[in-house]
Amino acid sequence: MAAVETLERRGRIRPALQSSKAAAAAPAPFLKWAGGKTQLLGQLTRMLPEKFDGYAEPFAGSAALFFCLRRQRGSFPAVLIDRNEELVNCYAVVRDRVDSLIPILEKLQAAHGKRHYYSVRRQRPESLSETERAARLIYLNKTCFNGLYRINSRGQFNVPIGSYKNPRIYDETSLRAASAALSGVAVSCEDFAAVEDRMRAGDFVYFDPPYHPVSKTANFTAYALGSDGRASFGIDEQRRLADTFRNLDRKNCHAMLSNSDSEQIRELYRGYRIRLASARRAINCDGAKRGMTTEIVITNY
């Protein structure tokens, strides 16, 4: 999927629009995402730059910080970037076609069950319209195990159904609030390094990449997966990301990055400010290991 919009057209980006229903609800993530930052927002917001011009989130996921910034700071030029084509398509549809999306979600909600879940999971996204694809992603996200996005070697979504009695697939008011917050936001399916060309001095970039494993067994956790569902973000990618971070610093952009608290990651960002954040590990095959963990937040300001 090609880029939908770019921040280069920031002068023509519309401010967030507010419908009467959306205005009643504060915008928030409409997807669950392994490693999402909703629980850390209170800590992250204390580390934000005092002000910024444009904003980019190159590992969009649930875009928790973006929606938080919309609630706190209103309208600003923004771009959400991710390698997951289904996710990028979903954001574009919620932004532009929420009225067409809601009736499809309503039907998926009414038909939900184990047989229906696996029937929807077997669908080939390329055989669906963009709106149907977005509805499929939201449905699977809200009904699969822990909201995990994982694909097999053939590119097929393969997460089993979750053990939810009555999962709520969508909330119309919240979805419309998210649509309003996304109004005018560029969404793009591309590599994280694209922000180097998009952003200018005074802009703010938040990186939330797949975390570097802190142990050998951590390689098998959901946090080692990229948002495109592949376990492909190794140390070479972490080094390339650190180069991108430094290049943005040279351009006088504000940059913030979250990652695991490991010696290798600390070494990659030596010279920058490193602070600790506490998070609850939500996904682990061993329930006893779903407790609190320490992460690091790196900033260049």
Percent helix, strand, coil in the chain (nearest 5)? 45, 15, 40
The helix (H) or strand (E) run that includes residue 274 is: strand 273-280
The domain tally of the chain equals 1
- pLDDT score at 16: 42
Q: Is the Cβ–Cβ distance between 211 and 260 less than 8 Å?
A: yes
**Separation between Cα atoms, residue 257 and residue 245, nearest integer Å:** 8
Q: How big is the CA angle at 142 (ends 283 and 20), to the nearest 5 degrees?
A: 125
Q: For residue 38, is it within any domain?
A: yes
- pLDDT score at 292: 79
**Separation between Cα atoms, residue 89 and residue 133, nearest integer Å:** 8
User: The domain that contains 28 carries what CATH number?
Assistant: 3.40.50.150
Q: How big is the CA angle at 220 (ends 81 and 208), to the nearest 5 degrees?
A: 25
Alpha helix segments (H runs only) across 97-233: 98-111, 114-122, 130-143, 172-182, 195-198
- pLDDT score at 7: 57
Q: For residue 1, is it within any domain?
A: no
- pLDDT score at 293: 86
- pLDDT score at 48: 98
Q: Residue 300: phi, psi to the nearest 5?
A: -105, 15
Q: For residue 2, is it within any domain?
A: no
Q: For residue 95, is it within any domain?
A: yes
Structural domain range at position 111: 7-299
Other C-beta atoms closer than 10 Å to the C-beta of 76 total 21
Query: Which residue's entry shows tokens 């979750």?
Result: 162
Length of the chain: 301
The DSSP line for 202-220 is T-EEEE-PPPPPSSSGGGG
**Separation between Cα atoms, residue 44 and residue 64, nearest integer Å:** 11
Query: Which residue's entry shows tokens 């084509």?
Result: 85
Q: For residue 293, is it within any domain?
A: yes
One-letter identity of residue 229 = G
Q: What is the mean pLDDT of each run of 10 residues along the chain (301 residues)?
A: 47 42 77 89 97 97 97 97 97 98 98 98 97 98 94 93 94 98 98 97 97 68 58 88 98 98 97 93 53 91 98
Other C-beta atoms closer than 10 Å to the C-beta of 28 total 18
- pLDDT score at 88: 98
Q: For residue 82, is it within any domain?
A: yes
- The two structure tokens encoding residue 84: 């997951």
